[in-house]
Chains A and B, each alone.
Chain A
């Protein structure tokens, strides 16, 4: 079983490396906006929330956008099933996240930062707010930060209310504005038209937490970790059938099999990478790597051993999406329901392969026709599990219905 790991025990090449509060902010003020953006671009940092959008580009776009006000939003909604790395950062490394936000504010010219904190993390609210108060005392927040004239920035924390889709950045902004958490149309993008219509940078907790290290040690140092196209390291939230679940900082490019070894997973049949909306990888592909150029991920790793029923796993994911779709757009709202119905039909044996293929086609439509990432990625497990585990699933002996499953 997992032993509780303390901050002092965590080690890692980038995020979990040494850092003292305020250090990177001081350096940021010294080197100025352009150099920060230069280092960030040089580092090749991509968003750690899942979508992998280059962070430097996002910051440059919002720095260039005109608006009387600008906002930095830290996406701490951490709703993807199997993800809990942001929780560790929020609990143990608030200095990294908040300094990252201050640097972001300094770089794009924002004076306000908002942390959108997952409703279930309410228990952290008090300590995070106390932490912000300390930062204010140290002049790391507030007016003329660290003596820099006109550099004003402060952070507020807002609680989410439990919808998975509110982690999607535009739904998050709607939620912040007090509306139903429904994703917006894009374009316009938040970098131009975000919170209250003002240019807004939305970054994941981990993305922001990496920034102080890059500012301090440079993009070149960061690039030394990882692969050419996937620079730096990544936090992985590992759960499921293994002896050592938990949060790991590992360099990009590491192979699935290597990770399974580190976490002591045995008899592994499948790994679901990227949460419910990710892909399910069978044993035959365990030599593939975690990297944007191979299997990109926000860091959720769920391990399934030989005892697991993959159709049940799939069913669980589809039930999640049927419930968590915001319900606004047709392909996602009804499409997920049809995919779930398909899974149920397979389970009861009452299906035709023709219809399952139609549903796979529907899944492909959902990937290109849905309004936001939820509907665009929810068919992933349906398509990948049915494809990668067809032996198990369509071999009627293995189905729930046993040998009387009547596949036609």
Chain B
């Protein structure tokens, strides 16, 4: 039997053939004929993969590299000699020397019919669609030379567009029922909000009792958007409001940019994944008309100061004061998708969440208080925009409790895709921009803040600071690279020994600081179940990011996504960080300045508690 480590249902696993570890053994490869050419492929390779490695393009629609196989759209059909029907190349494992033909008249006719059928049910005009020029259905129609609607075309919408969620908009009129969103939500993220409902011609993708997305347990991660082949799912775009603010002379519009969009936005301008456009973006944003451009890495450093201090306080409370009301392990709280996930699915563990706000929200609160005073602008005239890789950030900034400055701390969360659209609209080709710096008084940012973008980054940044605070020495990792935090393994677990501690932290002498890093809520679920079973009693700190790969794989990032793309984005971030002069949050001079001038009672002090910390809501799974 094949290995069953996959979470996906048996039905959707590609095949349960035993794939030999060593393909050089006898039987490890199979020689097949593809279009009359002999090729050797590893046993168990799908026809689609075999064709790909042999430069034969096969159209796909329901297939996605991150997801289990569906085999439902049927556009990848090929002819396998001796079989009565055509076979879906995405699902067909090669286990014997078969003969495959990929473009017979029957195959081409079938594909064309299928595309025609999909178009007959697809309501919406390409030029009014967010996915115009980046739509897989449109591309298929072009590839197959569709020049008329053979089977007709719907002329009025059948579904009401669901705009209830501040993050994700669902327009089922454009849905092709590939179920990539369903597989994302159920298998990849294990949230399980979306599923096919009814059967036959009544089949549609819906939520529990077809409720509005805002009224179900959606965590707003937007991973479904990233994997939707058409415009059926997209983020709630605030750019019209932002343009209006920019055009309003009484408004002082500031934007903070997070590291992940900077490492990915080039893709929207035709650049390969893995190039950062930080400085170029600063210039573009100023040309668009933002009054100030700030670096979210600054508030990431601030987050480390607050969250790291909170961790040390918790350790002291538990180990020294034996305070049973204080909970360990402490979980990170930067990922709003993760926050909503735990609020819905594990509300009984909210005490474990760090109370520190996310960098986006900390920045908002600081801008409308400290910055307003320094720059001498009225906070009510300031409009704060956050460029984020994330759709959940839109929900986060609209949480009613996020108004500690006395105003809405962050007015708009903008995704990478929406930012790119604004830049294009302003007539700017981003890669051509000269590079400029961020604005003061938050111009400094450490590399620690930068690596927040990749899974494990927050942990790495926190360890660099906490270890040094406790021992007075740098973390014992070459070039500050804490390798156990890096990479895309779902759940990573490691520890650092604390020795020769400074006076204040003598109570930690000899302790092993144990930590876990997980990304994607499916992995968060694994960790939470471990916690529930009491297996994490000796763990101190856990980083969780809702999206696979961390923020670089966020639901607001350029489409398409795949592990290769996410790896390239992460690489860009890690490379950029190594070249930075400051790489530890506590060495950020502007952060120090903020604590000296404004948050004078220090991290986790009175004022920072008011402005930089928050509380959570027990939501549970049932929403009435």
CA distance A361 to B371 in the complex (A): 69
B118 interface hit (Cβ, 8 Å): yes
The verdict on A369 contacting B118 (CB below 8 Å), with A66-B1, A326-B199, A327-B177 known, is no
Give per-residue flags for A360-393: 1 if the beta carbon is below 8 A from chain B beta carbons, else 0.
Answer: 0110010111110000100000000000000000
Decide: B117 and A338 in contact? CB cutoff 8 A: yes
Decide: B16 and A188 in contact? CB cutoff 8 A: yes
CA distance A369 to B104 in the complex (A): 13
B113 interface hit (Cβ, 8 Å): yes
Give per-residue flags for A310-344: 1 if the beta carbon is below 8 A from chain B beta carbons, else 0.
Answer: 00000000000111111111110111111001000
Decide: B15 and A188 in contact? CB cutoff 8 A: yes
Residues of B within 8 A of A193 (CB): 10, 15-16
CA distance A228 to B9 in the complex (A): 43
CA distance A180 to B91 in the complex (A): 19
B56 interface hit (Cβ, 8 Å): no
Decide: A369 and B110 in contact? CB cutoff 8 A: yes
Partner of A324, one of B85, B106, B200: B200
Decide: A327 and B199 in contact? CB cutoff 8 A: yes
Decide: B202 and A327 in contact? CB cutoff 8 A: yes
Give per-residue flags for B86-116: 1 if the beta carbon is below 8 A from chain A beta carbons, else 0.
Answer: 1010011101000000000010011001100
Stretch at the interface among B68-76, B289-297, B338-346: B68-76
Which residues, 181 to 203 on B, are CB-close (under 8 Å) to A? 195-196, 198-203
Residues of A within 8 A of B109 (CB): 361, 365
CA distance A323 to B4 in the complex (A): 35
Decide: A370 and B74 in contact? CB cutoff 8 A: yes
Residues of A within 8 A of B4 (CB): 197
Residues of B within 8 A of A325 (CB): 199-201
The verdict on A185 contacting B201 (CB below 8 Å), with A192-B16, A368-B86 known, is no
Decide: A163 and B10 in contact? CB cutoff 8 A: no
Decide: B16 and A327 in contact? CB cutoff 8 A: no
CA distance A77 to B69 in the complex (A): 27
The verdict on A371 contacting B73 (CB below 8 Å), with A179-B9, A361-B109 known, is no
Decide: B201 and A333 in contact? CB cutoff 8 A: yes
Candidate in B113, B152, B177, B196 with the most chain A CB atoms within 10 angstroms: B113
B17 interface hit (Cβ, 8 Å): yes
The verdict on A369 contacting B203 (CB below 8 Å), with A185-B88, A358-B150 known, is no
Decide: A376 and B199 in contact? CB cutoff 8 A: no
Give per-residue flags for A158-195: 1 if the beta carbon is below 8 A from chain B beta carbons, else 0.
Answer: 00000101000010011001011010110110001100
Decide: A324 and B110 in contact? CB cutoff 8 A: no
B31 interface hit (Cβ, 8 Å): no
Q: Report A202 CB to chain B, min CB distance, Å.
A: 14
Decide: B199 and A185 in contact? CB cutoff 8 A: no
CA distance A182 to B200 in the complex (A): 11
CA distance A370 to B478 in the complex (A): 57
Decide: A327 and B113 in contact? CB cutoff 8 A: no
Q: Report A158 CB to chain B, min CB distance, Å.
A: 17
Q: Report B153 CB to chain A, min CB distance, Å.
A: 12
Residues of A within 8 A of B547 (CB): none
CA distance A323 to B110 in the complex (A): 23
CA distance A180 to B69 in the complex (A): 16
B624 interface hit (Cβ, 8 Å): no
CA distance A67 to B16 in the complex (A): 12
Which residues, 10 to 62 on B, are CB-close (under 8 Å) to A? 10-11, 14-17
CA distance A321 to B86 in the complex (A): 21
A196 interface hit (Cβ, 8 Å): yes
CA distance A365 to B14 in the complex (A): 24
Residues of A within 8 A of B15 (CB): 187-188, 193
CA distance A108 to B179 in the complex (A): 36
Q: What's the tally of chain B residues with a CB closer than 8 Å to chain A?
A: 48
Residues of A within 8 A of B110 (CB): 331, 365, 368-369
Q: What's the tally of chain A residues with a CB closer than 8 Å to chain B?
A: 48
Decide: A368 and B106 in contact? CB cutoff 8 A: yes
CA distance A322 to B201 in the complex (A): 6
B120 interface hit (Cβ, 8 Å): yes
Decide: B85 and A327 in contact? CB cutoff 8 A: no
CA distance A369 to B72 in the complex (A): 10
Residues of B within 8 A of A184 (CB): 10-11
Residues of A within 8 A of B92 (CB): 185, 187
Residues of A within 8 A of B200 (CB): 321-327, 333, 336
CA distance A334 to B200 in the complex (A): 8
Instruction: Classify the interface of chain B: helix, strand, loop or mixed.
Output: loop
Q: Report A160 CB to chain B, min CB distance, Å.
A: 14
Partner of A330, one of B9, B73, B91, B95: B73
Partner of A188, one of B17, B70, B72: B17
Among residues of A, the one whose C-beta sits closest to the C-beta of B111 is: A369
Residues of A within 8 A of B280 (CB): none
CA distance A192 to B13 in the complex (A): 13
Among residues of B, the one whose C-beta sits closest to the C-beta of A67 is: B1
B616 interface hit (Cβ, 8 Å): no
CA distance A333 to B117 in the complex (A): 9
Decide: B199 and A330 in contact? CB cutoff 8 A: no
Residues of A within 8 A of B73 (CB): 329-330
Decide: B117 and A196 in contact? CB cutoff 8 A: no
CA distance A179 to B118 in the complex (A): 26
B121 interface hit (Cβ, 8 Å): yes
Residues of B within 8 A of A185 (CB): 11, 14, 69, 71, 88, 91-92
Residues of A within 8 A of B70 (CB): 328
Decide: B72 and A329 in contact? CB cutoff 8 A: yes
Residues of B within 8 A of A173 (CB): 11
Among residues of A, the one whose C-beta sits closest to the C-beta of B11 is: A184
The verdict on A177 contacting B10 (CB below 8 Å), with A188-B17, A338-B117, A369-B77 known, is yes
Among residues of B, the one whose C-beta sits closest to the C-beta of A179 is: B9
B151 interface hit (Cβ, 8 Å): yes
Residues of A within 8 A of B86 (CB): 368-369
Q: Report A257 CB to chain B, min CB distance, Å.
A: 30
Decide: A337 and B201 in contact? CB cutoff 8 A: yes
Residues of A within 8 A of B177 (CB): 327-328, 330, 333
Q: Report B586 CB to chain A, min CB distance, Å.
A: 51
Decide: B203 and A182 in contact? CB cutoff 8 A: no
Among residues of A, the one whose C-beta sits closest to the C-beta of B91 is: A185
The verdict on A327 contacting B198 (CB below 8 Å), with A182-B11, A185-B69 known, is yes
The verdict on A331 contacting B74 (CB below 8 Å), with A163-B199, A180-B196 known, is yes
Residues of A within 8 A of B71 (CB): 185, 329, 371
CA distance A179 to B182 in the complex (A): 13
Among residues of B, the one whose C-beta sits closest to the C-beta of A66 is: B1
Residues of B within 8 A of A328 (CB): 70, 72, 177, 179, 196, 203
Residues of B within 8 A of A174 (CB): 11
Residues of A within 8 A of B11 (CB): 170, 173-174, 177, 179, 182, 184-185
CA distance A174 to B490 in the complex (A): 28
Among residues of A, the one whose C-beta sits closest to the C-beta of B90 is: A185
Among residues of A, the one whose C-beta sits closest to the C-beta of B73 is: A330
CA distance A113 to B10 in the complex (A): 20
Decide: A330 and B74 in contact? CB cutoff 8 A: yes
CA distance A362 to B151 in the complex (A): 10
Q: Report B413 CB to chain A, min CB distance, Å.
A: 35
Residues of A within 8 A of B17 (CB): 188
17 new A-B contacts at CB < 8 Å, known A177-B11, A325-B201, A369-B85 = A170-B11, A185-B14, A185-B71, A187-B15, A321-B200, A323-B201, A324-B200, A327-B198, A327-B200, A329-B72, A334-B118, A337-B201, A365-B113, A368-B85, A368-B86, A369-B86, A370-B74
Q: Would you mind naming 26 contact pairs between A and B with Cβ atoms under 8 Å apart?
A: A170-B11, A174-B11, A177-B11, A179-B9, A180-B195, A180-B196, A185-B14, A187-B95, A188-B16, A323-B202, A327-B177, A327-B198, A327-B203, A328-B177, A328-B196, A328-B203, A331-B114, A334-B118, A361-B113, A365-B109, A365-B114, A369-B114, A370-B74, A370-B85, A371-B72, A376-B85
Q: Which are the 5 A-B pairs with shortest beta-carbon distances? A: A327-B203, A185-B91, A334-B117, A185-B71, A184-B11
Interface on B for A, CB 8 Å cutoff?
Answer: 1, 4, 9-11, 14-17, 69-75, 77, 84-86, 88, 91-93, 95, 106, 109-110, 113-114, 117-118, 120-121, 150-152, 176-177, 179, 195-196, 198-203
